[in-house]
Amino acid sequence: MIKKRLLLSLIASLAILFSAVTIQPSVSKAQTTGHDPVIFIHGAGGIGASFYSIENYLKTQGWTDNELYPIEMQDKTGNNQNNAKQLASYVDEVLKKTGKSKVDIVAHSMGGPNALTYILKDGGGNKVNDVITFGSPNKMVTSVAPLGTDPNHKILYTSIYSSGDYVVNNWLSPLKGAKNVQISGTDHLGMLMNSDVNKLIKEGLNGGGKNTN
């Protein structure tokens, strides 16, 4: 009787071991999709932590900590030449770390012109998928959303601006070829903690921007 129990136990153990070796667990959709890493660019006098609210919102929508990268600009004046060069190095570091080929960019205020300068002049033309700016004086750099230099992909743009923004003139924000959205009820800094802005950023990161050039 004891020998029979030992035999049955051995058979059961072998069956479990065989199953573990031959049956592979299925991979969930969340494990196979993922997002492009998101680079957050603050404005003049700003800090990377100013995107705290937006980052938390995106994490409730499926983004993870290792997909969100707020850059801390060394030049707090918003200087395009200096910041675009720092951004170029930072993007390369993030791409190497994540193994991705392109990033998305979310930029507030002077972060928008910094991003556009990077795309146009500092090697970002083939390293960016989606660009979302808000409260940004984009026309300081260009009035047309740059297509990028990747022949197989056009960069998509969303420009968000508020009628209550008294820091950046609304005229400076829209770009030809971008999805331009005017909102109300918030000021320049308030856009960093606004539910409408959050939703528009999410849409832009999911390919909801536009570039028809």
Q: Which amino acids are annotated catalytic?
A: 109, 165, 188
Q: Strands 38-41 and 68-71, how do they pair?
A: parallel
Q: Is 135 left (phi over 0), alpha (psi -120 to 50) or beta?
A: left
Sign of CA dihedral 50, 52, 55, 61: negative
Cα(90)–Cα(72) distance, integer angstroms: 10
Count of helix runs (H) and strand runs (E) in the chain: 6, 6
Beta strands in 90-200 (DSSP E): 103-108, 128-134, 156-162, 179-183
Segment holding 70, helix H or strand E = strand 68-71
* CA pair distance 41, 38, nearest whole angstrom: 10
Q: How far apart are CA 113 and CA 42, in angstroms?
A: 11
Which amino acid is present at 22? Answer: T
Helix (H, G, I), strand (E, B) or coil at 20: helix
Which residues on neighbouring strands pair with residue 157, listed in sequence order?
131, 210
